[in-house]
């Protein structure tokens, strides 16, 4: 099947992804039923491993939301398992150089473009019996820019062939800039984010970002992002609980 995120991006429509960091398939199903265009299963900061991600991807694929993963690191073994489990896009953390990005792209593509090994167990069930013939052009690859090194090399990273785009990690980037991880309102961080959006657009690549607050999510929409994640499952539960309690106290 096609990747609906590519269709939205091509139409210049903002795509929204939910973010599941608790290793539970019911939670993934609830989030996926919420109306998002995609749901990302986070294996980097989510406190669970690939085995727990599989029922989460199954739950997400009962809906129209595109199943994405954030892998825990730039590892061919883990990325291959997650793609075999039916992930239709991978967000890879801590991409610092064009070499890192090339290694990531190779992990997500079958030969000759890459070195992905063959065994798409759930890939067939989600992607269809013709999975092998379209996987290389369907699966979305987003490299995270979230270090000073990655920021400095962003233009080279964006020029890696078949990398679809970048995904900005504002908290790690803020820490690298000597700021607090939630310093979302600072000029310095926002200038860097705007620069990355402009670079991605210049090279015809997609750009997404994680937004921990609604103020930030709104601003990121105005910055021209293709993809915005308006907070994690945990952040949303905490924020909505606090809002309800405050309203009733």
| Residues labelled as active-site residues | 45
Q: Rounded CA gap, 4 and 175, in Å? A: 33
Contacting residues toward ligand 3PY, per CB under 6 A:
146, 169-172, 210
Q: Which of 113, 62, 58 is nearest to 85 (CA)?
A: 58
Q: Rounded CA gap, 71 and 89, in Å? A: 10
Interaction partner, residue 150 (ligand 3PY, Mg ion, none; CB < 5-8 Å by kind): none
Interaction partner, residue 210 (Mg ion, ligand 3PY, none; CB < 5-8 Å by kind): ligand 3PY
29 binds Mg ion (CB under 5 A): no
- In sequence order, what are the residues at sequence separation of 6 or more whose Cβ sits closer than 8 angstroms to the Cβ of residue 81? 50
Interaction partner, residue 110 (ligand 3PY, Mg ion, none; CB < 5-8 Å by kind): none
Q: Rounded CA gap, 214 and 118, in Å? A: 41
Residues 110-149 that bind Mg ion (CB under 5 A): 146
78 binds Mg ion (CB under 5 A): no
Q: Which of 102, 172, 226, 233 touches Mg ion (CB under 5 A)?
A: 172
User: In sequence order, which ranges of the chain are alpha helices (DSSP H)?
Assistant: 4-10, 25-32, 50-60, 76-84, 98-108, 123-127, 131-138, 148-152, 154-158, 170-176, 187-202, 214-222, 233-248
Interaction partner, residue 127 (ligand 3PY, Mg ion, none; CB < 5-8 Å by kind): none
Q: Which of 18, 127, 165, 169 touches Mg ion (CB under 5 A)?
A: 169
Q: Rounded CA gap, 162 and 113, in Å? A: 9
CB of 169 to ligand 3PY, least distance (A): 3
169 or 230: whose CB is closer to ligand 3PY? 169
Query: Which spans of this chain sit near Mg ion (rule: CB under 5 A)?
Result: 146, 169, 172
């Amino acid at each position: 099947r096609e990747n609906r995120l590519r269709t939205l991006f091509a139409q210049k429509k903002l795509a929204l992804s939910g973010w599941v960091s608790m290793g539970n398939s019911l939670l993934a199903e609830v989030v996926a039923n919420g109306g998002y265009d995609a749901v990302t299963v986070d294996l980097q900061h989510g406190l669970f491993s690939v085995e727990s991600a599989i029922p989460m991807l199954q739950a997400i694929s009962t809906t129209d939301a595109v199943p994405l993963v954030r892998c825990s690191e730039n590892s061919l073994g883990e990325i291959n398992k997650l793609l075999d489990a039916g992930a239709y896009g991978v967000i890879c953390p801590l991409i610092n150089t064009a070499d890192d990005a090339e290694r990531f792209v190779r992990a997500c593509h079958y030969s000759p473009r890459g070195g992905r090994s063959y065994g798409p167990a759930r890939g067939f069930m989600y992607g269809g019996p013709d999975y092998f013939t379209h996987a290389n052009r369907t699966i979305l690859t987003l490299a995270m820019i979230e270090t000073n090194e990655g920021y400095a090399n962003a233009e080279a990273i964006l020029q890696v062939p078949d990398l679809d785009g970048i995904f900005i990690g504002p908290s790690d980037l803020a820490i690298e800039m000597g700021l607090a991880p939630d310093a979302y309102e600072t000029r310095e961080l926002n200038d860097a984010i705007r620069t990355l959006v402009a670079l991605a657009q210049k090279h015809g690549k997609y750009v997404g970002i994680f937004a921990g607050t609604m103020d930030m999510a709104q601003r990121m929409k105005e910055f021209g992002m293709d993809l915005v994640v308006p907070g994690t499952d945990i952040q949303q539960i905490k924020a909505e609980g606090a809002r309800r309690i405050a309203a009733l106290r």
